[in-house]
Structures are given as C-alpha cells and as structure tokens.
C-alpha cells in the first residue's frame, strides 16, 4: 500500500474531483466529517479538465453556472464572458480548490477500479487501478454524468495513420490544425462548438453527420463590468428565484401555450429569443417539450433560420433536423450553421448508410474515400451510468451494481441504491441532474448528503440503505414524469440510445428541481424515510479508528 492509500481514518471517500467532489469535500469538512477525494486525472475540474476541445464552453450563463454556497466567493469571482470558456471554468475550479484549501485532501492520479462493501466491518473497501487500497464507512460517487467518452465502433479506426482525438479526452497541449485536412465525426454539442473553430484553422474540414442537431445562437459577449456588478448586487435574490425554476436556471420562462398564441405573435417571440440567444429559446412556451404540435412551431422556426443562413439549399436541408426540438439536448453555438458557407467545409450525410470504414488515410462513406490527416471524434458519452458501471461495485451479499443495473439504472432519489448501503451518488440517474443547471443540482445533493452523514453520526447510526419498496416507488415516479416529456420518446443519450446494447430507459428525473428538492427534504425530515438505518456496530460509532 502506498502512502496515498493507507494510514488515514477517513469517514468518507469521494470519487471524482469535479464540481461535485470539490464541494462535497468542503461541506463534509464543515460538518466535521473526515473525507478525501480520489481523482483519476492529474488535475481537478472533472469534465472541464478533460473537455479541452477547441470552442468548449458552457451553454449556461457563467453567472448561473457557478457555485452559490459561498456569497463571498460569488462576489469575488469575476466572470469575463456571458458564457464561460472551458479554460475560465477550469481556472474557477482551481481557484475554489485553493480558496477553500481543498487540495490537501485530494489524491490525484487515482482511478478507482473496484469498490466492495465489507459486511463484517460495515465499510467500503476501494482499490485503484494501480492496486492501492482505501477504506471508509461511506463512499460518495461524484463521478459525473457525462464523463465516459464513447468511441464509435467503426471498422478500421485503429488503422488510421494520422491523429485521432475524442473531444472528451482532448490533449492538454492542444491540436494543431493549421494546413491539415480534418474530419469531425458527430454533430452534437461538442461538435457544434468545435466545428466553427476547427474550420477557421484547418485547410479543409469534413463533417460526418448521422443525425442533424438543433442549435440556437449563443450571442456570447464579454460581460460588461456594470452588468456583472448589477448581478452581484442582487445575486442572492437571483439564485433564490432560479431555484424555483424546474431547470434551476433563471430563464425568462413563459406560462403561455404556443398553440394558443396567434402565429404572428409567436414568430415575434421566437425571433426575440433567437436574437437574445441561448437555451431560453425553449422557454418561449410551456408546451414546447410536451406537445408535438406546439413543438413543431418552434422547430419550424429554427428550420427556417437554417435555410436563411446556409446558402446551399441542399446543405441546409441536410442540416435541418426532423425530430422535435429539445428532445435531444438543444445545442448553443457561435456560428455553427454559418460555417457550412465556407469553401473549406464539406458536410457528409451518413444517416442512410453509416461510415463504411476508416483506412490508413481517411474515411470511406457512401463509397467515397475522404482523405484526412486528423480525425476528431465528437461522438459523445456513456451518459449517467457509464462512470458508475466501469467501476466494479459490489454491495451486500456479493451483488454487483452491473448485475443490478443490467436492465437499466434503479435508484432511490438518484442518491442511493438498494443493496448498496452507505453509498451515495451525486446527480445519479433518477435525479434532475442533466435536465437542469448542474451546479445547483450538485449543491442540493451535496448538502443533503452532508446533512445526512452528520445526522447519522449524531445518532450513532452505522449504515443507511434504501429499501427496495422506496426504490421501486421512486422509479415508478421517475417513469411517470418521463412519460410527460417528448424527450423520453426520442433517441438520445438521455435514454441510452447512443450506446449499442444499453438498455433503453429515460435516466434523469423530469419533475424539476423544486418538486425534487421538496421530496428530498421531506424524506430527511421524516427520519430518512425509505431508508433502513442500523446502529453502528463498533464502540467508536461512526468515526473510523486511526489504523494501528
């Protein structure tokens, strides 16, 4: 056992040093619980550490995609743009780690491969890929919802003689596209952000599109100091109002229905939101994500915009999605559709026939070899369950999470799993997570878990486990909420459709943050209803003894 593994009595181990893991550590310290964070990377920041592809930035406004647990932090930090770049978000994460002195309890370069619950000692035993052991009564999985990149199963990929990069594991030193012929495979958010930047640098860019995606302009700007000061002056009120929104984002959300609005007025409203930019486009009417006809009014508007931007009518048609808007995650761009007017950009439609194969020199699609020097895989992630299932997690009686989730993830509140005592998931499947602003969702989970562990310690409880009944009831409720949204019926990573063989289940909770938070608070107020609590077996109770 190396020094990094042994010699400490941790009450809790947190897996992952993204925004969830960082705040979890801080909060546990505040309630007097000894914890460490184990992180696979050689730096902190989670998705913002790994996703360094050109053009990467958050599609939620920086002043909202940020922690709110510390009013001082909120006042000190100055976001420079409406939508923060990956570099700025990563430097914010590092600032938080320094400001709250978190690094001394973060163990980097530690990829956890196995976690086993030891019934005898009521502790979790963790092993890293390189064989180091860690042990604690509680483990908290802060492993992220979109952190396991998916590599496409395309014949010949390994035979390509040039560079291949996935947007989700971008090289730290960057990629030089100058003078190069580049292929981008995929047209989701990551591709839509990187394509305009790569097109400006590369000699030629070929985009391989299987399914067109909807995108709205970001209208990113440098944040004028006066605007930032205005937000900071009322930050607390703005944050409180945002928490009342289903998404946790303070959008200009309308309660009007698209189909009950006169067409001319509706067009004006869509135009206003298009000009303003960002995801708030979908909040123009309350029925866009629940009623197909209402949705069509919005998707028709965007298709007309694509036709007006893209000069080649055939290319515009290929770029125009046919599915409901917002059913897949809506993209936000800086000049995506305009990029297809460039002489050095080609769109290859692989919707009717997939990419045939990759050779040493390029990509064959529809019988044509497209010769390239660099391939960029913007092919997405094994969302929500990928990061949990790649760890061999074994709960009570040798039951594995992989076996239990064979037909899809099952959780209680997206926070805990029956048969896996003392294990918590931050923004796990069955919680609002990816349908919301991740930062407030993370904070709500972290605070709930920290309060829970403190309450267990104070009443000398050694283990907590979700009951099968509570989990079944929660999953039924998650399914009921999913049935109300068009998102559940389309193919996307929300339902696991992007990973061959992954069971189809709408993974996030669609009931929104306020309802969800109230449920979590009620569960806690009723003495952790739906959980079985067992007294600590050892004389020392909750806290681990320092190893001899």
Residue 249 within binding range of ligand NAP, rule CB under 6 A: no
Number of neighbouring beta carbons within 10 Å of residue 256: 14
Q: Which of 258, 298, 355, 488 binds ligand NAP (CB under 6 A)?
A: 355
Burial environment of residue 483 by CB neighbours within 10 A (0 to 12, 13 to 18, 19 or more): exposed
User: CB–CB of 507/496 below 8 Å?
Assistant: yes
Q: Among the candidate windows 286-294, 377-385, 479-487, 515-523, which touches ligand NAP by CB under 6 A?
A: 377-385
Interior/surface letters 28-45, b for 16+ CB within 10 angstroms, e for the rest: bbeeebebbbbbbbebbb
Residue 380 within binding range of ligand NAP, rule CB under 6 A: yes
Q: How far apart are CA 423 and CA 14, in angstroms?
A: 10
CB of 329 to ligand NAP, least distance (A): 3
Residue 185 within binding range of ligand NAP, rule CB under 6 A: yes
User: CB–CB of 232/74 below 8 Å?
Assistant: yes
Number of neighbouring beta carbons within 10 Å of residue 347: 21
User: For residues 295-334, which are near ligand NAP according to CB under 6 A?
Assistant: 329
User: CB–CB of 439/67 below 8 Å?
Assistant: yes
The sign of the torsion formed by the CA atoms of 444, 446, 449, 451 equals negative
Question: One symbol per residue from 96 to 125: x for binding ligand NAP (CB under 6 A), - otherwise; what is it?
Answer: ------------------------------
Q: How far apart are CA 520 and CA 535, in angstroms?
A: 22
> Closest CB to ligand NAP among 304 and 350?
350
Q: How far apart are CA 358 and CA 447, in angstroms?
A: 48
Residue 92 within binding range of ligand NAP, rule CB under 6 A: no
User: CB–CB of 142/450 below 8 Å?
Assistant: no
Residue 381 within binding range of ligand NAP, rule CB under 6 A: yes
Residue 364 within binding range of ligand NAP, rule CB under 6 A: no
For the residues of 5-58, what is the DSSP string, one character each? TSS--EEEEEE--SHHHHHHHHHHHHTT--EEEE-SSSSS-THHHH---TT-B-
Q: Which of 16, 43, 46, 152 binds ligand NAP (CB under 6 A)?
A: 152
> Closest CB to ligand NAP among 49 and 138?
49
Closest CA to 431 of 248, 307, 174: 248
Q: How far apart are CA 424 and CA 431, in angstroms?
A: 12
> Closest CB to ligand NAP among 349 and 465?
349
Specify the residue for token string 């569960």: 523
Q: How far apart are CA 511 and CA 478, in angstroms?
A: 8
CB of 397 to ligand NAP, least distance (A): 36
Residue 493 within binding range of ligand NAP, rule CB under 6 A: yes
> Closest CB to ligand NAP among 211 and 471?
211
Question: One symbol per residue from 41 to 80: x for binding ligand NAP (CB under 6 A), - otherwise; what is it?
Answer: ----------------xxx---------------------
> Closest CB to ligand NAP among 142 and 358?
358
Residue 260, SS3 per DSSP: helix
Q: Among the candidate windows 184-192, 199-207, 230-238, 265-273, which touches ligand NAP by CB under 6 A?
A: 184-192
Residue 418 within binding range of ligand NAP, rule CB under 6 A: no
> Closest CB to ligand NAP among 27 and 329?
329
Identify the DSSP state of 93: H
CB of 379 to ligand NAP, least distance (A): 4
CB of 514 to ligand NAP, least distance (A): 21
Residue 191 within binding range of ligand NAP, rule CB under 6 A: yes
CB of 437 to ligand NAP, least distance (A): 11
Q: Among the candidate windows 34-42, 376-384, 404-412, 420-428, which touches ligand NAP by CB under 6 A?
A: 376-384
Residue 186 within binding range of ligand NAP, rule CB under 6 A: yes
Residue 194 within binding range of ligand NAP, rule CB under 6 A: no
Please give the residue ranges that form the binding site for ligand NAP (CB under 6 A): 57-59, 146, 152, 154, 167, 185-191, 193, 208, 210-211, 329, 350, 354-355, 378-381, 493, 498
């Amino acid at each position: 056992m190396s020094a990094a593994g042994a010699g400490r009595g941790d009450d809790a181990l947190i897996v992952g040093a993204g925004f969830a893991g960082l705040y979890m550590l801080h909060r546990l310290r505040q309630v007097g619980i000894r914890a460490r964070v184990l992180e696979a990377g050689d730096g902190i920041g989670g998705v913002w550490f790994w996703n360094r592809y050109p053009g990467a930035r958050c599609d939620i406004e920086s002043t909202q995609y940020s922690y709110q647990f510390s009013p001082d932090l909120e006042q000190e930090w100055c976001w420079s743009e409406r939508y923060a770049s990956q570099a700025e978000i990563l430097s914010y994460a590092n600032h938080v780690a320094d400001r709250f002195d978190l690094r001394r309890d973060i163990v980097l370069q530690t990829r956890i491969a196995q976690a086993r619950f030891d019934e005898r000692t009521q502790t979790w035993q963790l092993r890293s890929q390189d064989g180091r052991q860690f042990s604690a009564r509680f483990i908290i999985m802060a492993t992220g919802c979109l952190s396991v990149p998916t590599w496409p199963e395309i014949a010949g990929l390994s035979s390509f003689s040039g560079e291949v990069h996935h947007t989700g594991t971008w090289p730290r030193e960057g990629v030089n596209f100058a003078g190069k012929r580049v292929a981008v495979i995929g047209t989701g958010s990551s591709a839509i952000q990187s394509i305009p930047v790569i097109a400006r640098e590369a000699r030629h860019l070929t985009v391989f599109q299987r399914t067109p995606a909807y995108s709205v302009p970001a209208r990113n700007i440098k944040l004028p100091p006066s605007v930032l000061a205005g937000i900071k002056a009322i930050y607390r009120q703005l944050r409180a109002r945002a928490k009342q929104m289903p998404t946790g984002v303070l959008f200009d959300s309308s309660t009007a229905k698209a189909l009950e609005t006169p067409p001319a007025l509706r067009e004006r409203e869509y135009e206003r939101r298009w000009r303003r930019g960002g995801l708030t486009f979908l909040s123009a009417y309350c029925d866009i994500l629940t009623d197909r006809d209402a949705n069509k009014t919005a998707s028709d508007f965007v298709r007309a915009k694509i036709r007006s931007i893209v000069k080649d009518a055939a290319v515009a048609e290929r770029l125009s999605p046919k599915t409901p808007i917002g059913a897949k995650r809506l993209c936000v761009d800086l000049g995506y559709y305009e990029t297809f007017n460039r002489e050095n950009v080609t769109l290859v439609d692989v919707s009717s026939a997939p990419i045939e194969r990759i050779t040493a020199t390029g990509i064959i699609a529809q019988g044509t070899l497209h010769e390239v020097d660099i391939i960029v895989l913007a092919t997405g992630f094994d969302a929500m369950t990928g990061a949990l299932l790649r760890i061999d997690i074994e709960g009570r009686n040798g039951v594995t999470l992989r076996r239990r989730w064979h037909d899809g993830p099952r959780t209680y509140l997206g926070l805990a799993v029956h048969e896996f005592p003392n294990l918590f998931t931050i923004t796990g499947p069955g919680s609002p997570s990816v349908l919301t602003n991740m930062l407030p969702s993370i904070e709500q989970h972290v605070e709930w878990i920290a309060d829970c562990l403190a309450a267990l310690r104070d009443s000398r409880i050694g283990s907590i486990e979700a009951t099968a009944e509570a989990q079944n009831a929660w999953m039924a409720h998650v399914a009921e909420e999913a049935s109300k949204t068009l998102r559940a019926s389309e193919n996307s990573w929300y339902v696991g459709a992007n990973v061959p063989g992954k069971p189809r289940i709408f993974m996030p909770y669609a009931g929104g943050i306020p309802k969800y938070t109230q449920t979590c608070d009620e569960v806690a107020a009723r003495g952790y209803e739906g959980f079985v609590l067992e007294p600590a077996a050892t004389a020392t109770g909750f806290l681990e003894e320092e190893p001899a």
